Amino acid sequence: MCFHWFKFNLDWSYTRKILTMKIGLDIMGGDYAPKAIVLGAIAAHQSLNSNEHIVLIGDTQQIKPLLLEQGFNPDHFEYHHTDEVIGMGEHPTKAILQKPNSSIAIGFQLLKEGKIDSFASAGNSGAMLVGAVFSVKPIAGISRPCLCTIVPKLKGGTGLLLDVGANADCKPDNLLEFGVLGSLYAEHIMQIENPKVALMNIGEEDEKGNMITLASHRLMKQTKLFNFVGNVEGRDLFNDKADVIVCDGFTGNVMLKLAESFYVLTIKKGLKDEFFDRFNYENYGGSPVLGVNAPVLIGHGISSPLAIKNMIFQSRDMINTRLVNKIQAAFQ
Amino acid sequence: MCFHWFKFNLDWSYTRKILTMKIGLDIMGGDYAPKAIVLGAIAAHQSLNSNEHIVLIGDTQQIKPLLLEQGFNPDHFEYHHTDEVIGMGEHPTKAILQKPNSSIAIGFQLLKEGKIDSFASAGNSGAMLVGAVFSVKPIAGISRPCLCTIVPKLKGGTGLLLDVGANADCKPDNLLEFGVLGSLYAEHIMQIENPKVALMNIGEEDEKGNMITLASHRLMKQTKLFNFVGNVEGRDLFNDKADVIVCDGFTGNVMLKLAESFYVLTIKKGLKDEFFDRFNYENYGGSPVLGVNAPVLIGHGISSPLAIKNMIFQSRDMINTRLVNKIQAAFQ
């Protein structure tokens, strides 16, 4: 991660105004596809600038009646027709290889060729991860791209938890990278100044933890790559001790699903509360894949139109802030 | 884990009536000690049989006025005076070695000598674990004793999660052992017939997981030691997919603290609900240490009199059911 003169070229690029952006969206992904996806795209379109275009990828025949029904001028969108779909239960790598004409495979092909500037799907999340790594590749210097989730904070605002499932087994170096990625996302997309980055652990003291977290803590304590504030525990996910919480993908995935089950519980039990309302994933959009050479977002399988709309806004923000360039520069 | 003739000797011992039991209790452990501990002991005493005695271990001078104030006949308890205390923040191993006259060290000494039949404390949990392993030792055949927590189930009843912090790093063999320990606890103490044992993982499918859970799953699938029902995910902690959920101590500790933070949140927000009420750790008592040669229980640092009372009942049940003998037999 050394900085050399080439960084200045990249820095120049940050200042270049984005003239036209193309936000790629898989219309076949998700339990309520294509309807929820198209409705989300229509909703998002109302708030986008004239230079911000949505590119719908999938079976365009299926959505024609939908657009008609909504009285929406189809010319507002661009289209890439594909007639294959990767199912939610399919094996990610096999599916990507065996279905080159699927909406996910085509989406990544377009992203790789620069025909779209971001790609988002609420479909098979494994295939989305594999597709991202196979097509646009990990950023040089990053060994393991990861998946984040946005977490509501009790006192308002949001935080970030990563990795939440891309890497079930991690090494301390990976966790250090996640810290850099999370810090940059929090700074540029969530607009948190000097984000506090913490390590998820089983005690606050430096000497607590398992082999991975003990070694990661030592690395993080020495780093100047982000503002490390030490260990946090399971109980600290929603408080203000940290803006960005780093963990391996196993721990993060278990935590995410446990937290989601509480949210579902409060809904089922009719317990209304402002905090629990903010738990609703729909308000945030999707989970960013960080560490690859283009903006990629994975939506929840049960994505509603609102979730899709917000995932489109996330895509736009990732393009507008040139987050990927900033990550590339940090890892040079 | 082979069964030989000696098992029959042990089996005979199961049928022996327990004439007198001595339930050891550290009166110095916990944030509200000694008051909350003594009040809990007084409350428990009302429901114990005449052969079930509570042995209070700690600074007996401190509790004399308390017993007087409560109008409680001090002869109902037995006492072991100690004048040292292990603080909540002390290093477990150092504290146990450097304070041989502390209530925790003396408690384990009495347990080892058979002068008490169980030992419980809401004090320094690390010192309790170290004390258990140093004094009464792990049961032959068990490499890593572990710590459980009782979990309320949405449809009523309770389940068990283990390990929740004794072993931050685990091998597949350890997780298999936890499955046996949890299954026996659920069967004999929670009276669940043929308990369903599951592995905490990041996907339901057999091939999902990290290196540890993948290997553990294979071991568990082959075992006849318990009723393995496969993988569960973070969202399944409170549903009926499993009675006993096995994980490494890092994952379990993070889950436990995350779940506790939700409970605290519902209390703070005044969200009343029958399920969240059952979350209250006070209703269950303490966390059993499983895999050592005597019943040991660790209470929550903030244990109230109700929690202490229930921890005393848990101790009694572990003695009465001869759970330790049953575990010893299973690992022979």
Residue A233: partners with Cβ closer than 8 Å, 6 or more residues away: A200, A201, A202, A203, A204, B253, B254, B257
Identity of the residue in B213, B233, B257 whose CB atom sits nearest the CB atom of A233: B257
The CA distance from B146 to B246, in Å, is: 11
- For B79-112, how does the pLDDT look when each residue is reduced to its tens digit (9 = 90+)? 999 999 999 889 999 999 999 999 999 999 999 9
Q: What is the pLDDT of residue A279?
A: 80
Note the helical H segments in chain B.
6-15, 35-47, 60-69, 92-98, 103-112, 125-135, 172-188, 211-222, 249-268, 274-278, 305-320, 323-330
Q: Is B250–A169 a contact, with Cβ atoms under 8 angstroms apart?
A: no
Residue whose C-alpha is closest to residue B111's, from B321, B319, B279:
B319
> Is omega for the bond preceding A243 within 30 degrees of 0, making it cis?
no
- Contact residues of A toward B, CB < 8 A: 154, 165, 168-169, 200, 202, 209-211, 213, 233-238, 247-251, 253-262, 264-266, 269, 271, 273, 275
Is residue A132 a contact partner of residue A289, using CB atoms and an 8 Å limit? Answer: yes
Strands B52-58 and B78-81: parallel
Residues of B in contact with A262 (CB under 8 A): 259, 262
Question: Looking at CA atoms only, how far is residue A282 from chain B in angstroms?
Answer: 18
Residues of B in contact with A275 (CB under 8 A): 265, 269
Identity of the residue in A168, A233, A247 whose CB atom sits nearest the CB atom of B210: A168
pLDDT exceeds cutoff 60 at A3: no
Residue B176: partners with Cβ closer than 8 Å, 6 or more residues away: B216, B219, B220, B223, B225
Structure tokens given for B306: 């109700």
Q: What is the pLDDT of residue A112?
A: 97
pLDDT, mean of residues A305-327: 97
**Beta-carbon-side half-sphere exposure of residue A14 (alpha carbons within 13 Å):** 15
Residues of B in contact with A269 (CB under 8 A): 273, 275
Identity of the residue in A259, A266, A269 whose CB atom sits nearest the CB atom of B258: A259
pLDDT exceeds cutoff 60 at A2: no
Q: Tokens 């690029």, residue?
A: A13
Name the more confident of B271 and B42. Answer: B42
Count CB-CB contacts under 10 A for residue A7: 14
Identity of the residue in B168, B235, B255 whose CB atom sits nearest the CB atom of A210: B168
Q: What is the pLDDT of residue B17?
A: 63
Count CB-CB contacts under 10 A for residue B31: 13
Q: What is the pLDDT of residue B16?
A: 55
- For A211-249, how does the pLDDT look when each residue is reduced to its tens digit (9 = 90+)? 999 999 999 999 999 999 999 999 999 999 999 999 999
Name the more confident of B301 and A47. Answer: A47
Residues of A in contact with B238 (CB under 8 A): 261, 265
- What ipTM is given for this predicted complex? 0.91
pLDDT exceeds cutoff 60 at B117: yes
Rounded to whole angstroms, what are the CA distances from B103 to A186, B95, B100, B128, B231? 48, 11, 9, 11, 41
Element (H, E) at A95: helix A92-98
The CA distance from B66 to B72, in Å, is: 9
| Residue B279 binned pLDDT confidence (cut-offs 50, 70, 90) | confident
Rounded to whole angstroms, what are the CA distances from A132 to A78, A95, A180, A288? 22, 14, 19, 11
- Contact residues of B toward A, CB < 8 A: 154, 165, 168-169, 200, 202, 209-211, 213, 233-238, 247-251, 253-262, 264-266, 269, 271, 273, 275
The CA distance from B269 to A80, in Å, is: 49
Residues of B in contact with A125 (CB under 8 A): none
The CA distance from B184 to B323, in Å, is: 8
Question: Looking at CA atoms only, how far is residue A122 from chain B in angstroms?
Answer: 18
User: For B264, which residue in chain A has the nearest alpha carbon?
Assistant: A235
| Residue A9 binned pLDDT confidence (cut-offs 50, 70, 90) | very low
- For B147-179, how does the pLDDT look when each residue is reduced to its tens digit (9 = 90+)? 999 999 999 999 999 999 999 999 999 999 999
Question: Looking at CA atoms only, how far is residue B189 from chain A in angstroms?
Answer: 26
Query: Which residue of A175, A213, A261 is the best one to mutate when testing the B interface, meaning the one whose CB has the most B CBs within 10 A?
Result: A261
Length of chain B: 332
Question: Looking at CA atoms only, how far is residue A92 from chain B in angstroms?
Answer: 12
What domains are there in chain A, each with its CATH number? 1-142+291-332 (3.40.718.10), 144-282 (3.40.718.10)
The CA distance from A61 to A58, in Å, is: 9
Chain centroid offset of residue B313 CA? 12
The CA distance from B108 to B292, in Å, is: 12
Identity of the residue in A200, A233, A258 whose CB atom sits nearest the CB atom of B234: A258
Structure tokens given for A21: 């952006």
Count chain A–chain B contacts defined by CB atoms under 8 A.
110
Question: What share of chain A in percent tops pLDDT 90?
Answer: 84
Q: What is the DSSP letter of B102?
A: B
User: For B272, which residue in chain A has the nearest alpha carbon?
Assistant: A271
How high is the mean pLDDT of chain B? 92
